[in-house]
């Protein structure tokens, strides 16, 4: 038994990767799945979003990539069934140190091999680039969830990311597949948002999730309080959206069995 591993990736910044990673992880844990979130971004935003101070970390994703043990790098989030491998700015050094390392793109996959049956789901929050850290995530993952902001230029980035995923699948990780595209920061009051959704639906009809994550001030505020949106505003539209997204993710994963 091995956990299902989902990389949450998009080379464009500010599209809701971290927000999706932490809130999807929280929703899966609320459904009694054992979840591990790996913060693979040197900015450490997923770590901060869960209310964890980066100044007091004993071990991080950096240690994991440098050959450390998964159990040592993992810490509780204070939420039942929800664990974290945190990150801080030290992770940026891994990119330099691994440049000439043997099997550099498989370091995270090797570390996760020890997860065994400890977790049901492993989520990896990727940095906003297609560099070595994201490559490690894609080599360790079974599937990729792509948050896509509802703006026109995001479509170009999606095509580029899709090409990268195909190359990773061909050369490094044949089990990798696209779980789906989730539209984020959706504002139903604008024509542009709906036009972008329609365009993604036209080009990727089997990949786009039905759930639309709304643009929300409360969703933006929640990380500054170290809380998930289901904790910060449980009855709000954003909390309901991430609950619906978790249901869709589970349905797609079940169909793959």
Buried b (16+ CB within 10 A) or exposed e, 81-95: bbbbbbbbebbeebb
Instruction: Map out the domains of the chain as residue ranges.
Output: 4-256
Predicted TM-score (pTM) of the model is 0.96
Are the C-beta atoms of 172 and 105 separated by less than 8 Å?
yes
> Which homologous superfamily is 4-256 in?
P-loop containing nucleotide triphosphate hydrolases (3.40.50.300)
Measured distance CA(53)–CA(84) in Å, rounded: 13
Per run of 10 residues, the mean pLDDT along the chain (length 257 residues) is 93 93 98 98 97 92 94 96 97 90 92 90 95 95 95 79 91 95 91 88 89 96 97 97 98 84
Q: Which residues, including other chains, have CB under 8 Å from residue 108's CB and lie 6 or more apart? A: 38, 40, 64, 65, 124, 136, 137, 139, 140
Measured distance CA(121)–CA(84) in Å, rounded: 12
Strand partners, 75: 84
Q: Which secondary structure element, helix H or strand E, spans residue 122, and what is its range? A: strand 121-125
What pLDDT shows up at residue 121? Answer: 97
What pLDDT shows up at residue 257? Answer: 64
């Amino acid at each position: 038994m091995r956990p299902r591993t989902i990389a949450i990736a998009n080379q464009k910044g500010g599209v809701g990767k971290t927000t999706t990673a932490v809130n999807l992880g929280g929703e899966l844990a609320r459904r009694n799945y054992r979840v591990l979130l790996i913060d693979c971004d040197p900015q450490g935003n997923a770590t901060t979003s869960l209310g964890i101070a980066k100044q007091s970390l004993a071990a991080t994703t950096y240690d994991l990539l440098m050959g450390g043990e998964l159990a040592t790098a993992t810490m509780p989030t204070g939420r039942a069934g929800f664990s974290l491998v945190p990150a801080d700015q030290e992770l940026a050094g891994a990119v330099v140190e691994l440049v000439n390392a043997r099997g550099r793109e498989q370091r995270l996959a090797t570390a996760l091999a020890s997860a065994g049956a400890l977790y049901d789901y492993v989520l990896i929050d990727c940095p906003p680039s297609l560099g070595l850290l994201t490559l490690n995530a894609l080599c360790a993952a079974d599937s990729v969830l792509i948050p896509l902001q509802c703006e026109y230029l995001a479509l170009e980035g999606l095509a580029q990311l899709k090409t990268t995923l195909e190359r990773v699948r061909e050369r490094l990780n044949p089990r990798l597949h696209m779980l789906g595209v989730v539209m984020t920061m959706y504002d139903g009051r604008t024509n542009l948002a709906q036009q972008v959704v329609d365009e993604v639906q036209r080009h990727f009809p089997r990949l786009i999730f039905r759930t639309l994550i709304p643009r929300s001030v409360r969703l933006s505020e929640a990380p500054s309080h170290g809380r998930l949106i289901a904790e910060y505003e449980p009855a709000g539209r954003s909390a309901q959206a991430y609950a619906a997204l978790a249901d869709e993710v589970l349905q797609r994963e079940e169909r793959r069995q």
